Every structure is written in C-alpha cells, then in structure tokens.
Amino acid sequence: MAKKTSTASIERLCSLYRALIELEGQSDSRVSSSKLGKLLGIAPHNIRKDINSLGEQGETGAGYDVGRLKTALEKKLGLDHTRRVAVVGLGRLGRAVLEHEQLAESGFDIVAGFDSNINRLETIRTDVRLYHADEISSVVRKEEIDLGIVTVPSKAAQETADRLIRGGVTGIVNFSPKVIVSGRSEVTVSNIDLVGRLRFLTAREKMTFEYLS
Amino acid sequence: MAKKTSTASIERLCSLYRALIELEGQSDSRVSSSKLGKLLGIAPHNIRKDINSLGEQGETGAGYDVGRLKTALEKKLGLDHTRRVAVVGLGRLGRAVLEHEQLAESGFDIVAGFDSNINRLETIRTDVRLYHADEISSVVRKEEIDLGIVTVPSKAAQETADRLIRGGVTGIVNFSPKVIVSGRSEVTVSNIDLVGRLRFLTAREKMTFEYLS
DNA sequence: ACCTGTGAATAGTTTCACAGCT
DNA sequence: AGCTGTGAAACTATTCACAGGT
C-alpha cells in the first residue's frame, strides 16, 4: 500500500462522511466537490484530493454518487461495523455520554461504564453494565472494547488511559483538561477539553485582533 | 505587528498554558522546553519557536521561569480577564456544561442558558439565568456575552450559531455533530462532536493498519 | 552540561492549472 | 458548461544545527 493518509485528511474525510449521511436523504443523488466544499468550509480541490487519495473512487466527470461514495468511505474508514466503547468517569458529563442515543445510532455501542466511586455504581440507573475502575483492564480485554471515553478528573486521567491501553483499546477520547500521552504509537488519543477550547477561542480572537492593528 | 500566529501554534500555546498552571504548584520554579515537550507530546524545538513567536520572553539560558512565562502567556492569549459565556441547548449535555465548576475557576462565567423548550426552562434548577432560544441575539448583546457553547440537536445548530453571531459572540464551541460554518471571519467555530471523534479514531486505526501491511 | 534563540533546511500540505470525461 | 483527476507550484510548518548564554 502506497501513501500514508495524513491526520488532517482523515479528519476531513470524517466530516465528509457525516455530510454524506445528511445528503443521502435528499432528492439529488449526486454531489460535486464544490457543493461539499461549501457545506464543510473546505476548498473543493482539497476534497477531490482527499477522495482520490483513498484509491480512486471510479467516479467520472459529473459529481460523485452520494450513496456509492458514502459506502466507499464507510469501508475505507472502517465505519462499516459497530465498535464497542467504554465510558470511564460517571460524573455529570460521563452520565450524559452514557445516555447519548446518537452513539448507538452511529454504530458505537457503549458496553461498559466505570467509576472509582462505589456509591455511584450502585445509584446510577442505566442499561449499561457498570464496573469499578480497578477492573478497567480486565473488562476491556474480556469485552473486547475498542475505544474509551475518559470523563474523569484531570489527576486521574493518565492513569485511566494507561489502564484502557493495557486492556487493549485502540483509541481514547479524553474530555479531561489534562493532556493524555499514549506511550504506544498504535493508540490514538483525542483530547477535547472544553476549557481548552474556550481558551483557544479567546486566544484566537486576541491574536487576530492584534494582527489587524 | 508582524507575523500572524498560526492556528496550530495558538493551539499549542493553550496546552502549554495549561501545563504551566499545573507546574506552578510544583517545587521547581523553572522548566525547560524539553520537559514541557515531554509533558505535552510536542517537540522541544517547536515549543521554543512558539514561545519565541509571541515576542521573545526575555528568558535567557537555563529554562523558563514558570510563573513569569505563565503570566506572559496569560496576557498574550487574552486569558487575563474573565469571559462571559452562554450555553444553548439544555439537554443532558447542556446541563452538565451549565454545572461544570471548572469553567468558572478558569475564568469563564456562564451567565445565560437557552432552550426552545419552555418546560425545561421552568424545571431546571440552577443559578444561571435561563431564557427562551428566541431571545439569544438580544440577550447576548445586552449581557455582552463573548462565547457560546452549542449543545442543541444538529438540525438546530446552524440557526443557533447564526443567532449567537448576530448577538455578537466572537467564538462558538459546537458539540453538535453538524459542522457549523461562520459566515464572518472574525467568529471562530470549534466543532467537537463526540461521534465524529470516535469515527476519527476508528478511521485512524484502520488507515494505520493498512499502511503497515 | 544544559539551556534558549534563530536562520537554514526539510518535509508536508494546500492551491493551482489544465487535460480528459460526461 | 461543469465536473473530476493529478502533476507541478506555492506555501506553511516542522525539524535541524549551532551560536551564545548561564
């Protein structure tokens, strides 16, 4: 297999996939790169490059077929089978994630919840099976969990991630403000701390403003 | 003012700021770029460049002074004053955000919540003032709100964002899966949809695996 | 010995331009 | 007329290398 796909490109392909799901319901069964570009705020050239980079789509001279492209992407991105997900940290945010209907609809089954507070484990009413945080590694392994969502306080974040990784997850979404670094290169971590985002937006405005003056 | 700071660089500076907050409590009052690099998973060269790009820090030959660098960053990134934030969409996730203590601690005051469901507005118990979604623009303007957090269903996302922008926010964090595009260039949008992140992690693993084979 | 600051080199990503298809 | 596919150009970002300081 030839060229590695860049992170940025994978990111765009995922947005693209999302857009295609929406377009699927529409009347028109074809889309052009420029229409997709407008929808996602990406340059059309870029979209063509991305699509083409996953081995050409065989589409020809007048737009892409929405259904076909979607199916192709699904396969290429590995989104054609459900994935098993665990949530660690059952505070307000963690519980909101547990009950997030959209996850299952999109092929991500939450099959386990973890917390270090026994009280919580007994109180929370949910269909998801709950375990103590000490069991993370073994449950992840036994239940063949692919991905972990971390919603614990920052001081527990790295330790939580290490346990998930030891259990064998291939990716982690980290909502805690502490940046998680994955020792192994085959595990990808996506850090999406809210405070960090707000800081970024603030900084962004400041710097843009300064640049103009 | 000379060179515009790149998005990636601002992003790194924000992580850096976070790391400095943590280091501030520690015994050692100095950090080296390599130590910071290890902590954040960034190359030391890169960190030096970033720090230096905001007008040199005056630090000399043996590490940076944690406190001084933090203060400098605070000022440069515009994090030295509190910002006013609104949350739109008071479902499970929105309510979790409303009560997120860390926001206020970090200088982001949530001063308004919005929803289009009157029932919710009456039921939710919180210190934050709640309004109907129709009032977004006027309240944002009157309360001088800087940033918006969007936790509405995807079909309402763009409309919500438009209202926030009309009211005058300078940035939006969008938790909904629908990509929001801001017409005006002075408004930055940060899209952080959970399903999208999980898709990305899935795709990432698949592509890495394929590359190796 | 270990650190920062920074010009130069390298690598990587995006944009352009146009050939070719429908 | 409008579209995709793609090599080449332009641009941006990262990494290197080393001068200079403590």
* Rounded percentage of chain A residues whose pLDDT exceeds 90: 78
Q: What stretch of H or E contains A95? A: helix A92-98
Predicted confidence (pLDDT) at residue A1 exceeds the cutoff of 80: no
- pLDDT at residue B183, as a whole number: 77
- pLDDT at residue B56, as a whole number: 64
Band of the pLDDT at B211, cuts 50, 70, 90? low
d(CA A151, CA A113): 11
* Rounded percentage of chain B residues whose pLDDT exceeds 90: 80
Predicted confidence (pLDDT) at residue B4 exceeds the cutoff of 80: no
Query: Choosing among B124, B126, B199, B208, which should be mutated to test the A contact, i.e. which has the most A CBs within 10 A?
Result: B199
User: What are the pLDDT digits (tens) for A4-57?
Assistant: 788 999 999 999 999 999 999 887 888 999 999 999 989 999 999 999 888 766
Instruction: Round the average pLDDT of chain B to a whole number and report it.
Output: 92
* A21 in reach of chain B (CB within 8 A): no
Predicted confidence (pLDDT) at residue A120 exceeds the cutoff of 70: yes
> Closest Cα partner for A139 from A117, A168, A118, A119?
A168
- pLDDT at residue B186, as a whole number: 83
What mean pLDDT do residues B80-107 have?
Answer: 96
- pLDDT at residue A106, as a whole number: 96
d(CA B189, CA B170): 9
- pTM for the full model? 0.93
Band of the pLDDT at B1, cuts 50, 70, 90? very low
Question: How many angstroms from the chain centroid is the CA of residue A206?
Answer: 29
Predicted confidence (pLDDT) at residue A189 exceeds the cutoff of 70: yes
Predicted confidence (pLDDT) at residue B11 exceeds the cutoff of 80: yes
Q: Which of A49-63, A94-108, A145-159, B7-21 has the lowest mean pLDDT?
A: A49-63
What mean pLDDT do residues A131-150 have?
Answer: 98
What mean pLDDT do residues B68-72 have?
Answer: 91
Place of tokens 């206020």: B104
B1-7 own/partner pairs: CB under 8 Å, 24+ apart: B1/A210, B1/A211, B1/A213, B3/B53, B4/A207, B4/A211, B5/A207, B5/A211, B5/B53, B5/B54, B7/A204
User: What are the pLDDT digits (tens) for A190-207?
Assistant: 999 999 999 999 999 988
Q: Which of A88-97, B158-167, B178-187 has the lowest mean pLDDT?
A: B178-187
Nucleotides of C under 7 A from a protein CB: 2-7, 12-17, 20-22
- Among the partner-chain residues A173, A207, A210, the one whose CB lies closest to the CB of B197 is A173
d(CA B191, CA A113): 25
What mean pLDDT do residues A151-155 have?
Answer: 95
Q: Which residues touch strand D (CB under 7 A)?
A: A 31-35, 44-45, 48-49, 51-52, 56-64; B 6-9, 43, 45-46, 49, 60-62
d(CA A165, CA A188): 10
- pLDDT at residue A186, as a whole number: 83
Taking a contact as any Cβ pair under 8 Å apart, which residues of chain A between 135 and 194 contact chain B?
146-147, 149, 170-173, 177-179, 181, 186, 188, 190, 192, 194
